[in-house]
Amino acid sequence: MVDFSMPAGALVTEHDRPADPAATVLGSVDVRRGAVGDIAGSSAGAILTTHPGDDSVALLNGRTLAVEAIIAVPGEPVAIATHGNRAYVSTSSWTHKDEVTVIDTVARRVLARYPLADSITALAVSPDGQRVFAGRTGDGSIAVSVIDTVAERARSIEVATGAGIGIDALAVAADGRRLHIATTDARGSAVLTVDVETGLVESAASIGAPIRDLAVADGTAYVLTSDRTRGGVVHIVELSTGRIAGIVELGGAPTQLAMGADKSRVYVVDYDQVLVVCTLSLRVVNTIVVDGRPSCVSVNAQSGRCYVADYDGRVTAFGVDTTAPLTYSEFVASNALVSDIRDLEPVTA
């Protein structure tokens, strides 16, 4: 069970941050393609980085950090998600609609492109790789495109409407049946849970401050928020009840988080560092510093390595400690809210 003994609202100070002895620098490389927008690892051990200023995706050897390929994409690449030998990249340009570009990481080429309505603000892939979810933010509405990677078709789930509403992050449950959507509007923020098959919104957990990122581990959501008043906070949410069961106050101005391979650590990208949060004790156990300002982080489940990319275009690899996996409560659905589904067509590259 997760230990929520830490008082809610307690500030984690530098004095409260015991060293995590296993964060060891293994190497660093300058990709030389400008700032890194997002980073992800493949099952084969490769690391992929998006470079919005260069309209390209770089493929790195996860062990040596050698840059093995630069793949041009149709527009500025932002978010990236992977499964098997496929990478899915959201791209945006003045001449095209926002698209999800499919890359074969073995052949190192673009396989297909899916033009979508509105702005793509988040990506996620189902555990079996058969569905890709693209969060779309329109004018006063949000939706999720569900791309069937087998049938090569897409449908759209209309999620919600509201003034200034947007999708901040997506996370897929381990069984692939439910999609968790982090959303913020003029009234505040929430994590919505959608049944993937029916498109129905089953529940909503109110958070409050603007959401920056989201990770889910077996029925528990780790929701990163940040605002000027409070700074960064990680909210631990029981998805079955919508209850905030604990918080970790970080301060600073964090922008992204990633779940560790064994779910014992969450890695939070702050303004000039990466904070390592223990999910057992809900305490910051380490601070990882790189030469440049970090932009994103990824953890490889096979190797146990943590990769930190920065706005200078560098990627640094760290060896990180792991513990036994945790046990979390199971998800229980609640009431449906709103949904509408329609078909979309892919464009083959």
> DSSP letter string over 178-196?
EEEEEEEETTEEEEEEEET
In whole angstroms, what is the distance from residue 49 CA to residue 37 CA? 7
Confidence of residue 44 (pLDDT cuts 50, 70, 90): confident
pLDDT higher than 80, residue 254: yes
348: three-class secondary structure by DSSP: strand
Report the distance separating Cα 176 and Cα 279, nearest Å.
23
Residue 310 is assigned to a structural domain of this protein: yes
Q: What is the pLDDT of residues 146-166, one digit of tens each?
A: 999 999 999 999 999 999 999
Residue 2 domain flag: no
**The total number of structural domains that make up the chain:** 1
Q: Which CATH number belongs to the domain containing residue 67 in this structure? A: 2.130.10.10
Q: Is 6 part of any domain? A: no
Helix (H, G, I), strand (E, B) or coil at 54: coil
User: Is position 76 within any domain?
Assistant: yes
Residue 4 domain flag = no
120 pLDDT higher than 50 = yes
Q: What's the predicted TM-score (pTM) here?
A: 0.85
* 9 found inside a domain: no
- Determine the Cα–Cα distance for residues 36 and 27; give it in Å rounded to an integer: 17
What is the side-by-side order of every strand in the sheet holding 153-161? 119-125, 131-137, 141-148, 153-161, 341-344
> How big is the chain by its Cα radius of gyration, in Å?
19
Residue 57 lies in a domain: yes
Is residue 110 within 8 A of residue 98, CB to CB? The reply is no
Per-residue pLDDT tens for 67-94? 999 999 999 999 999 999 999 999 998 8
Domain annotation covers residue 8: no
Minimal CA–CA distance to 77: which of 68, 65, 89? 89
**Does residue 215 carry a pLDDT above 90?**
yes
The DSSP letter of residue 11 is: B
Please, which pLDDT band fits residue 322 given cuts at 50, 70 and 90? low
* Among 29, 69, 37, residue whose Cα is nearest residue 54: 37
pLDDT for 14 = 37
